Amino acid sequence: MKTAGWRSALIYGCVIALCQPLAACGSAEAPAASTNDQGDAKAVAAIPANAPLVIAFGDSLYAGYQLGPKEGLAPQLQAALAEDGVVARVQNAGVSGDTTAAGRQRLTYVLDNAKTKPALVLLGLGGNDMLRGIDAAQTRANLDAMLAELRKREIPVLLTGMIAAPNMGPDYAKKFNAIYPELAAKYEASLYPFILDNVVGKPDLMLGDHIHPNAKGVKVVVEGLAPLVEDALPGPG
Protein backbone atom coordinates (compact mmCIF):
# COMPACT_ATOMS: atom_id res chain seq x y z
CA MET A 1 0.00 0.00 0.00
CA LYS A 2 1.30 3.46 -0.82
CA THR A 3 2.10 6.00 1.91
CA ALA A 4 -1.19 7.79 1.26
CA GLY A 5 -2.98 4.49 1.66
CA TRP A 6 -1.44 3.86 5.05
CA ARG A 7 -2.41 7.38 6.12
CA SER A 8 -6.01 6.71 5.12
CA ALA A 9 -5.90 3.37 6.89
CA LEU A 10 -4.69 4.97 10.11
CA ILE A 11 -7.44 7.59 9.97
CA TYR A 12 -10.05 4.91 9.35
CA GLY A 13 -8.71 2.79 12.17
CA CYS A 14 -8.95 5.69 14.59
CA VAL A 15 -12.51 6.45 13.52
CA ILE A 16 -13.51 2.81 13.91
CA ALA A 17 -12.00 2.76 17.39
CA LEU A 18 -14.30 5.62 18.36
CA CYS A 19 -17.35 4.08 16.68
CA GLN A 20 -16.75 0.47 17.66
CA PRO A 21 -19.84 0.27 19.91
CA LEU A 22 -21.76 0.00 16.61
CA ALA A 23 -20.44 -3.61 16.64
CA ALA A 24 -20.65 -4.07 12.87
CA CYS A 25 -20.54 -2.09 9.66
CA GLY A 26 -24.11 -1.47 8.63
CA SER A 27 -25.70 -3.92 11.02
CA ALA A 28 -28.54 -1.56 11.88
CA GLU A 29 -31.99 -2.78 10.89
CA ALA A 30 -33.07 -1.98 7.33
CA PRO A 31 -31.68 1.56 6.98
CA ALA A 32 -33.80 3.89 4.89
CA ALA A 33 -32.51 4.55 1.39
CA SER A 34 -31.12 7.97 0.64
CA THR A 35 -33.14 10.37 -1.43
CA ASN A 36 -30.02 11.86 -2.98
CA ASP A 37 -30.53 10.38 -6.44
CA GLN A 38 -30.23 13.18 -8.95
CA GLY A 39 -33.32 13.61 -11.09
CA ASP A 40 -31.18 14.84 -13.95
CA ALA A 41 -28.72 11.95 -13.77
CA LYS A 42 -27.61 10.55 -17.06
CA ALA A 43 -29.73 7.69 -18.34
CA VAL A 44 -27.90 4.38 -18.07
CA ALA A 45 -27.62 2.56 -21.36
CA ALA A 46 -29.18 -0.88 -21.53
CA ILE A 47 -26.71 -3.66 -20.80
CA PRO A 48 -26.73 -6.50 -23.35
CA ALA A 49 -27.84 -9.87 -22.00
CA ASN A 50 -24.49 -11.41 -22.92
CA ALA A 51 -22.41 -8.70 -21.21
CA PRO A 52 -19.74 -9.97 -18.78
CA LEU A 53 -21.07 -10.34 -15.23
CA VAL A 54 -19.22 -8.81 -12.30
CA ILE A 55 -20.47 -9.82 -8.84
CA ALA A 56 -19.70 -7.40 -6.01
CA PHE A 57 -19.73 -9.73 -2.99
CA GLY A 58 -19.22 -8.03 0.35
CA ASP A 59 -20.73 -6.24 3.33
CA SER A 60 -22.32 -2.80 3.82
CA LEU A 61 -19.46 -1.08 2.00
CA TYR A 62 -20.60 -2.98 -1.09
CA ALA A 63 -24.31 -3.05 -0.33
CA GLY A 64 -24.86 0.71 -0.62
CA TYR A 65 -25.67 1.33 3.04
CA GLN A 66 -28.15 4.25 3.34
CA LEU A 67 -27.65 5.14 -0.33
CA GLY A 68 -30.10 5.43 -3.20
CA PRO A 69 -30.52 2.82 -5.96
CA LYS A 70 -27.91 4.45 -8.21
CA GLU A 71 -25.45 5.51 -5.51
CA GLY A 72 -23.93 2.26 -4.28
CA LEU A 73 -20.76 0.53 -5.41
CA ALA A 74 -22.35 -1.77 -7.99
CA PRO A 75 -24.36 0.82 -9.96
CA GLN A 76 -21.59 3.42 -9.84
CA LEU A 77 -19.00 0.87 -10.96
CA GLN A 78 -21.22 -0.29 -13.83
CA ALA A 79 -21.69 3.32 -14.92
CA ALA A 80 -17.95 4.07 -14.66
CA LEU A 81 -17.10 1.03 -16.77
CA ALA A 82 -19.64 2.11 -19.39
CA GLU A 83 -18.11 5.58 -19.51
CA ASP A 84 -14.77 3.92 -20.27
CA GLY A 85 -16.37 1.91 -23.08
CA VAL A 86 -16.39 -1.33 -21.07
CA VAL A 87 -19.80 -2.97 -21.14
CA ALA A 88 -20.42 -5.16 -18.10
CA ARG A 89 -23.25 -5.95 -15.70
CA VAL A 90 -22.31 -5.38 -12.06
CA GLN A 91 -24.48 -7.31 -9.60
CA ASN A 92 -24.84 -6.05 -6.04
CA ALA A 93 -24.27 -9.04 -3.75
CA GLY A 94 -23.41 -7.00 -0.68
CA VAL A 95 -25.16 -7.68 2.64
CA SER A 96 -24.87 -5.18 5.48
CA GLY A 97 -23.46 -6.73 8.63
CA ASP A 98 -21.97 -9.77 6.91
CA THR A 99 -18.93 -11.37 8.48
CA THR A 100 -16.57 -13.60 6.52
CA ALA A 101 -18.35 -16.61 8.05
CA ALA A 102 -21.71 -15.39 6.75
CA GLY A 103 -20.22 -14.65 3.36
CA ARG A 104 -18.65 -18.10 3.20
CA GLN A 105 -22.06 -19.65 3.85
CA ARG A 106 -23.83 -17.75 1.07
CA LEU A 107 -21.14 -17.60 -1.62
CA THR A 108 -22.05 -20.91 -3.25
CA TYR A 109 -25.72 -19.93 -3.37
CA VAL A 110 -24.93 -16.62 -5.05
CA LEU A 111 -22.65 -18.25 -7.62
CA ASP A 112 -25.03 -21.13 -8.33
CA ASN A 113 -27.93 -18.72 -8.89
CA ALA A 114 -26.09 -16.24 -11.09
CA LYS A 115 -27.65 -15.95 -14.55
CA THR A 116 -24.26 -16.64 -16.08
CA LYS A 117 -20.77 -17.53 -14.91
CA PRO A 118 -19.18 -14.36 -13.50
CA ALA A 119 -16.30 -12.88 -15.43
CA LEU A 120 -15.06 -11.42 -12.14
CA VAL A 121 -15.96 -11.40 -8.44
CA LEU A 122 -15.13 -8.45 -6.21
CA LEU A 123 -14.63 -9.86 -2.72
CA GLY A 124 -14.81 -7.42 0.20
CA LEU A 125 -15.39 -8.91 3.64
CA GLY A 126 -13.62 -8.81 7.00
CA GLY A 127 -14.47 -5.39 8.39
CA ASN A 128 -17.25 -6.78 10.58
CA ASP A 129 -14.97 -9.56 11.80
CA MET A 130 -12.54 -6.93 13.00
CA LEU A 131 -15.23 -4.81 14.66
CA ARG A 132 -16.47 -7.86 16.54
CA GLY A 133 -12.99 -8.95 17.54
CA ILE A 134 -13.24 -12.27 15.73
CA ASP A 135 -9.98 -14.19 15.69
CA ALA A 136 -7.98 -13.13 12.65
CA ALA A 137 -7.21 -16.79 11.97
CA GLN A 138 -10.94 -17.41 11.44
CA THR A 139 -11.20 -14.43 9.11
CA ARG A 140 -8.26 -15.73 7.11
CA ALA A 141 -9.69 -19.24 6.95
CA ASN A 142 -13.07 -18.01 5.71
CA LEU A 143 -11.58 -15.74 3.05
CA ASP A 144 -9.20 -18.54 2.03
CA ALA A 145 -12.14 -20.92 1.60
CA MET A 146 -14.04 -18.40 -0.54
CA LEU A 147 -11.02 -17.75 -2.73
CA ALA A 148 -10.48 -21.49 -3.08
CA GLU A 149 -14.10 -21.93 -4.21
CA LEU A 150 -13.71 -19.17 -6.77
CA ARG A 151 -10.47 -20.68 -8.04
CA LYS A 152 -12.17 -24.08 -8.36
CA ARG A 153 -14.80 -22.43 -10.53
CA GLU A 154 -12.09 -20.59 -12.49
CA ILE A 155 -13.52 -17.18 -11.62
CA PRO A 156 -11.04 -14.28 -11.37
CA VAL A 157 -11.12 -12.26 -8.15
CA LEU A 158 -10.47 -8.67 -7.15
CA LEU A 159 -9.95 -8.63 -3.38
CA THR A 160 -10.58 -5.37 -1.51
CA GLY A 161 -8.79 -5.08 1.80
CA MET A 162 -9.55 -3.73 5.26
CA ILE A 163 -7.35 -2.70 8.21
CA ALA A 164 -7.59 -3.26 11.95
CA ALA A 165 -8.52 -0.48 14.36
CA PRO A 166 -5.61 0.60 16.61
CA ASN A 167 -7.47 -0.37 19.78
CA MET A 168 -7.43 -4.00 18.62
CA GLY A 169 -3.77 -4.01 19.58
CA PRO A 170 -0.58 -4.54 17.56
CA ASP A 171 -0.69 -8.33 17.68
CA TYR A 172 -4.19 -8.47 16.23
CA ALA A 173 -3.39 -5.79 13.66
CA LYS A 174 -0.30 -7.66 12.50
CA LYS A 175 -2.30 -10.83 11.93
CA PHE A 176 -5.38 -9.15 10.44
CA ASN A 177 -3.68 -6.66 8.12
CA ALA A 178 -1.54 -9.37 6.55
CA ILE A 179 -4.54 -11.42 5.48
CA TYR A 180 -5.41 -9.55 2.29
CA PRO A 181 -2.00 -9.17 0.60
CA GLU A 182 -0.99 -12.71 1.53
CA LEU A 183 -4.19 -14.31 0.23
CA ALA A 184 -4.12 -12.17 -2.90
CA ALA A 185 -0.61 -13.46 -3.59
CA LYS A 186 -1.58 -17.06 -2.80
CA TYR A 187 -4.51 -17.02 -5.22
CA GLU A 188 -3.01 -14.63 -7.76
CA ALA A 189 -5.96 -12.29 -7.21
CA SER A 190 -5.97 -8.59 -7.95
CA LEU A 191 -5.78 -6.51 -4.77
CA TYR A 192 -7.11 -3.10 -3.81
CA PRO A 193 -5.35 -2.84 -0.44
CA PHE A 194 -7.79 -0.60 1.42
CA ILE A 195 -11.38 -0.21 0.23
CA LEU A 196 -11.77 3.32 1.65
CA ASP A 197 -8.44 4.75 0.59
CA ASN A 198 -8.70 8.50 -0.15
CA VAL A 199 -12.19 8.58 1.37
CA VAL A 200 -11.88 8.27 5.15
CA GLY A 201 -11.20 11.39 7.14
CA LYS A 202 -13.04 13.52 4.58
CA PRO A 203 -16.46 14.54 5.97
CA ASP A 204 -17.77 15.48 2.54
CA LEU A 205 -17.21 11.88 1.39
CA MET A 206 -18.63 10.06 4.42
CA LEU A 207 -22.03 9.48 5.98
CA GLY A 208 -22.75 10.84 9.44
CA ASP A 209 -21.45 7.66 11.08
CA HIS A 210 -17.95 8.45 9.71
CA ILE A 211 -17.57 4.79 8.72
CA HIS A 212 -19.53 4.41 5.49
CA PRO A 213 -19.00 6.45 2.31
CA ASN A 214 -21.73 8.65 0.89
CA ALA A 215 -22.43 8.71 -2.85
CA LYS A 216 -19.45 10.99 -3.50
CA GLY A 217 -17.24 8.73 -1.42
CA VAL A 218 -18.36 5.67 -3.37
CA LYS A 219 -17.43 7.52 -6.55
CA VAL A 220 -13.87 7.91 -5.24
CA VAL A 221 -13.75 4.20 -4.38
CA VAL A 222 -14.98 3.35 -7.87
CA GLU A 223 -12.33 5.56 -9.46
CA GLY A 224 -9.72 3.40 -7.76
CA LEU A 225 -11.40 0.07 -8.49
CA ALA A 226 -12.49 0.60 -12.10
CA PRO A 227 -9.03 0.27 -13.71
CA LEU A 228 -8.42 -3.02 -11.89
CA VAL A 229 -11.83 -4.32 -12.92
CA GLU A 230 -11.22 -3.35 -16.53
CA ASP A 231 -7.88 -5.13 -16.56
CA ALA A 232 -9.51 -8.31 -15.23
CA LEU A 233 -12.40 -8.40 -17.68
CA PRO A 234 -12.17 -10.10 -21.09
CA GLY A 235 -12.08 -8.06 -24.28
CA PRO A 236 -11.42 -4.30 -24.52
CA GLY A 237 -10.14 -2.67 -21.38
Active site residue 212: yes
- In the residue annotation, 210 being an active-site residue is answered as no
Which of 60, 96, 98, 197 is the catalytic position?
60
Is residue 47 within 8 Å of 89, Cβ to Cβ? yes
The percent helix, strand, coil of the chain (3-state, each to 5) is 45, 10, 45
Instruction: Give φ, ψ of 149 to 5 degrees.
Output: -65, -40
Please say whether the beta carbons of 235 and 39 come within 8 A. no
CA–CA distance, 184 with 182 (Å, rounded to integer): 5
Beta carbons of 189 and 229 less than 8 angstroms apart: no
Clarify whether 135 is annotated catalytic.
Answer: no
Choosing from 84, 144, 190, 209, the catalytic residue is 209
Q: Which residues are catalytic?
A: 60, 209, 212
